[in-house]
Copies of this chain bind each other. A is one copy, B any other.
Amino acid sequence: MANIYDIETYEPSESIGYLMTRVKVEMLAALDRELAADAHLSALGVTSAQFVVMVRLVGTADRKSASDLCKDLSYDAGAMTRMIDRLEKKGLVRRMRCVKDRRLIYLEATEAGRAAYPRMLEISVAVQNRFLRGMELPDARRLRDYLTRMLHNAG
């Protein structure tokens, strides 16, 4: 299995790591801008990071604990505690102690959280579609598969 890069011919500006870091920054910055600009959402002051948590709570099927979210999102546990504090303060999320395993805190979107979600999702989808402009569906699938493989290679 051949290596992709070797030191002699390595071109920093064309490397996957460099490009991916920049695309990620630009994509989240765009999402932050558009969440902040939205008439309804601006009152909540939802950030891209907070939106990503909401997606895991509203947009996926199974019930999630705080540590589930940390694993899902490659996110620090201490930071997650404070993230949930913020979402709870905004009334978007509720903490619920699990009775079967009292170490766990299950998280649940409130009514307000579920109500705000569709608009957030709409903005997020629009931003991603904009970044993918000029690609066809097979391209997007390939890109997704590449990223999935890379995530798997992270171990």
Residue positions of A touching B, CB distance < 8 A: 1-7, 10, 12-31, 52, 55-56, 59-60, 72-74, 118, 121-122, 124-125, 127-137, 139-140, 142-144, 146-151, 153-154
B150 adjacent to A74 (CB under 8 Å) = no
Q: Lowest 3 A-B CB distances belong to which pairs?
A: A19-B147, A26-B154, A3-B129
Report A117 CB to chain B, min CB distance, Å: 11
A27 to B149, CA, bound (A): 13
Q: Which residues of B contact A129 (CB under 8 A)?
A: 3-5
A146 adjacent to B154 (CB under 8 Å) = no
A22 adjacent to B73 (CB under 8 Å) = yes
